[in-house]
Structure 1
């Protein structure tokens, strides 16, 4: 087996648009660069789609929809299963590609390939379990029949932080349900999506079912697609501010919409918690993906009786992490995605310190090339600090306190976001109480990771609506038809 190298990986990934089964240049024949956030160097140039390219992609999806909707569910499932196996077999190549364009360490990239592939396997099994029902009218006489049909052409906008898994989490259920797609990956990390599209093509996905457009003009190219009356669904993962604008645009055609938006996850540590386990969980919840995750623990709310011990232990663990280019052995923390992102994280830390927070470790930009920020723990963070109310999206852990369970829940819920909350406690009755009281779409109890292809992922409030994964995930791509039968 040939060695996996940067050169071999970059030379094998497509860099054109995929429209109607054809890999082609943009109509403007222009490209834009994809950068390595660890060095700032250009990895490759990819096709820069225009509005006309976006329209062509939707044309292809619309043309393929009728045949794809009537394709046997087993056939759709087998394509997904084949793609799962191909992704799994190419873990090393895909992981290196992801690390190069996004920055996360190779170990995390391998984990994302495994996680992302699991959505293809899960929905390959769900493709043959799309059910309707048959019932007698309670009043007698007629019969009630319900059918589940694919929603239709779908526009998918995926983020840069999980460039493969956020694609499979949307594409998997759409393929299983019988929907065609136009996918626009983030301009910072288009390569993983292009590689995924090539895998699905190899797995037998028919031309036009999946179309991929890469562009440096995201808003300009996306809006005409969203406003096109032929589109039937919009799904987006990204910031709340962008999601809000897309929802407004989708209202014109009354599209089916699913939004997975920002987060401000509280991490609660109660007085009875196993502190060693809580610190382990905190490291997972905070440092997964360099903290650049909507599920990342954003606020550490710790009971006042154990806060000093917890903060000190967390600072020791965070301070011991190795920062560097994700392709290097032993590196545990890669760069942030852009210089702007790093400046934003530093600004939040500076604000907290100016308001009285104490830096236990980190709190500085790492000198040299790349967008690196030192893993940081802040203690005694005051209530007014921006770091407690804004999504950090970086390796910064602000620690504050609560007095009792009611205070913990009150502080946890005091946010416009509602994606995920974490809690560590050994009190089983408390587990039930807080699971019901926390105003979040997901709750992790004594664990720092909640994401699972078999579970419904999604939030409430300004964290969005709709669910991805689990039995619920495929229903986002299905419509119900009711038929009244008079025998």
Structure 2
């Protein structure tokens, strides 16, 4: 463990912020607990670095990000081990996250040199119009613990590609990965003051300091809808440019004509990636009544065969992030059982601590909290459906709309349902929607704006228009 930290992290000292392995509860590192004064100093550094970095040619910015991508790829095993240490993620999930996270640096590098603009004659004549872009300024990036690498690279990659400098507040549970990524960026050639990480347990005080600072012109936040609402209220005070990637409650629809083997394989990925601790995780399963028994048997058997254990053991599912998270998931399951649901399949898991067994529930009331609330754990509640109208009402009957999944043998029907589904992303006959090359984000109270794709870079740019006399 010590050798991994020494290889990946910059030197640090301090006290107050213990980072623990959720699989064991053992403290693996202790960092200085950031304060509002530290947050202000981080903005000082980012503001000083901004003019030079914004003026750096796009190709040179792209080269830095490409070198960071290469360094992440070369150090994938160590980075995955670090993620598993502080997050508890299973080995395969951690390696997959590193590859996914690195790809945001590569994609942002490719987009850095393709910033759009326009030059036209004005409709009335006598003038020419030039439309261009400029970096929005110092960007504050606030990230969660469930994907400690990807949530940072998905924000920092396009921000840096656009010419912004950044201040980063990682989750207090997983600050080590953020520090490792900052070190990689500096090693790749980024000016040291262009990326500033402030680990802290007092997220509210640190982020509030940034929201009050006139030099911070962008906030990009990933986290709960409740916290997002409060940050939007703060942003209104200075009209701060915001991107919000908030909560999810993804439906997973199985039609009567679906390939049930493919639907099962897709469900295993959509539900159990990162142990269900993903905003895109399939949260509620709507299975046509004609195939609900067969699907439950197939999916349940695959779920019961999952292995649960610590990183390094070869297990497919790791611990939840905290005992509090376990208690929350367990309360949702117990509430469903009290209302008549039953457990059909369950995988064995270690007792105590942060472990929760992957679980399949049947006969779940459509309005049970395990269906209407985001579970963020390895539990799959199944609800049977019969009519398209009833299905669509359940699919859209939530304030959230991040991701959805549809499995059907009739592509036309699946696309019609996808078009009627109030979600920013829909996987059709596949259990994965995330890709660095395409826009990630939701509708309704799942967020504002998009990350990834071309939209990811534009989120860190301001449009500027010049009207030039041509008489």
Q: Offset of 1:250 from its aligned partner?
A: 1.0
Root-mean-square deviation (CA), in Å?
1.3
Q: Offset of 1:281 from its aligned partner?
A: 0.3
Aligned twin of 2:4? 9
Mapped to 1, the partners of 2:7 and 2:31 lie a distance apart of 13
Check the 8 A contact 1:15/1:47 in 2, yes or no. Answer: no
Residues 139-159 of structure 1: CA deviation (Å, up to 9, x unaligned): 111111111100000000011
Aligned twin of 1:459? 442
Mapped to 1, the partners of 2:31 and 2:183 lie a distance apart of 15
Q: Does 1:183 find its partner at 2:158?
A: no
Residues 72-95 of structure 1: CA deviation (Å, up to 9, x unaligned): 000000000000000000000000
Aligned twin of 1:3? none
TM-score (normalised: structure 2):
0.98
Check the 8 A contact 2:305/2:347 in 1, yes or no. Answer: no
Check the 8 A contact 1:134/1:145 in 2, yes or no. Answer: yes
Aligned twin of 1:19? none
Q: Offset of 1:364 from its aligned partner?
A: 8.8
Paired residues for 1:172-321 under 5 Å: 172-321=157-306
Aligned twin of 1:448? 431
Quickly say closer, same or farther: Cα 1:47–1:13, change in 2 above 3 A.
farther
Mapped to 1, the partners of 2:94 and 2:67 lie a distance apart of 21
Length, aligned pairs only: 470
Q: Offset of 1:30 from its aligned partner?
A: 3.3
Mapped to 1, the partners of 2:417 and 2:317 lie a distance apart of 32
Q: Offset of 1:220 from its aligned partner?
A: 1.4
Paired residues for 1:304-453 under 5 Å: 304-329=289-314, 331-362=315-346, 366-368=350-352, 370-453=353-436
Mapped to 1, the partners of 2:248 and 2:87 lie a distance apart of 20
Q: Does 1:105 find its partner at 2:90?
A: yes
SS at 2:193's partner residue? coil
SS at 1:268's partner residue? strand
Q: Offset of 1:129 from its aligned partner?
A: 0.4
Mapped to 1, the partners of 2:180 and 2:319 lie a distance apart of 22
Q: Offset of 1:363 from its aligned partner?
A: 8.8
Residues 344-394 of structure 1: CA deviation (Å, up to 9, x unaligned): 0000000000000010123997414x3000000000101231000100000
SS at 1:332's partner residue? coil
Check the 8 A contact 1:15/1:46 in 2, yes or no. Answer: no
Check the 8 A contact 1:300/1:397 in 2, yes or no. Answer: yes
Mapped to 1, the partners of 2:408 and 2:90 lie a distance apart of 31
Aligned twin of 1:21? none
Q: Offset of 1:406 from its aligned partner?
A: 2.2
SS at 1:300's partner residue? strand
Check the 8 A contact 1:389/1:415 in 2, yes or no. Answer: yes
Q: Offset of 1:14 from its aligned partner?
A: 2.9
SS at 2:261's partner residue? helix
Of residues 4, 11, 24, the one that matches 1:39 is 24
SS at 1:232's partner residue? strand
**Structure 1 unmatched runs, 5+:** 1-5, 17-23
**Structure 2 unmatched runs, 5+:** none
Q: Does 1:54 find its partner at 2:39?
A: yes
Mapped to 1, the partners of 2:28 and 2:453 lie a distance apart of 36
Residues 116-150 of structure 1: CA deviation (Å, up to 9, x unaligned): 00000011010100121001111111111111100
Paired residues for 1:464-483 under 5 Å: 464-483=447-466
Residues 416-455 of structure 1: CA deviation (Å, up to 9, x unaligned): 1000010001112212211210000001000000000001
Check the 8 A contact 1:153/1:230 in 2, yes or no. Answer: yes
Check the 8 A contact 2:408/2:429 in 1, yes or no. Answer: yes
Check the 8 A contact 1:228/1:253 in 2, yes or no. Answer: no
Q: Does 1:152 find its partner at 2:152?
A: no
Check the 8 A contact 2:10/2:180 in 1, yes or no. Answer: no
Mapped to 2, the partners of 1:466 and 1:428 lie a distance apart of 28
Farther-moved stretch of structure 1 (414-423 vs 431-440): 431-440
Check the 8 A contact 2:62/2:161 in 1, yes or no. Answer: yes
TM-score (normalised: structure 1):
0.95
